Amino acid sequence: MALERTLAILKPDCVRKQLIGEVLRRMEAAGFRICALHMQHLSRARAEGFYAVHRDRPFFGSLVEFMISGPCVPLVLEKENAVEDFRTVIGATDPAEAAPGTIRAAHADNKGENIVHGSDSPANARTEIAYFFGDLSAD
């Protein structure tokens, strides 16, 4: 199977809870190579753009407020089958439904503040990597 890249974001709750090291450790322990990483405080426009697919959902406003509530850490991860495997490592959106041993089960407080983002398809991974890291989206 070919190497694949996915986009992760350590969300503002992860940074506030001083879990950057812990979550990066879990990523590396699960076999992901960290290709790029850049802490940044998203503007409202950048957060709205990133989650534009959700703009008509009732939770969009609170999602954007949360994502701009402090710095976050977008990063690019590489591994065979990276997109699907990273979704398995992070667990379900709602930590109450996330499998034991996943990052969200271990560290997330609720569905809105769930520690980490992971791209949900190879196509979206390319778009999301380009959104934060430009050329690194190339296969």
Catalytic residue IDs: 117
Site string for ligand ATP, 19-58 (x = CB under 6 A): -----------------------------------x----
What DSSP state is assigned to residue 99? Answer: P
25 vs 55, beta carbon nearer Mg ion: 55
At CA 92, angle to CA 54 and CA 132, rounded to 5? 50
Rounded Cα gap, residues 13 and 33, in angstroms: 23
114 binds, among ligand ATP, Mg ion, none (CB under 5 to 8 A by kind): ligand ATP
Amino acid at residue number 81: N
Residue 115: both structure tokens together: 């520690």
Task: Tell me the closest approach of the beta carbon of residue 117 to Mg ion, in angstroms.
Answer: 7
**Residue 116 and residue 12 in contact, taking contact as beta carbons nearer than 8 Å:** no
Contacts of 53 (CB under 8 A, 6+ apart): none
22, 78, 84, 120: residue in contact with ligand ATP (rule CB under 6 A): 120
Site string for ligand ATP, 100-119 (x = CB under 6 A): -----------xx-x--xx-
For binding to ligand ATP (CB under 6 A), which residues are involved? Answer: 54, 59, 63, 93, 111-112, 114, 117-118, 120
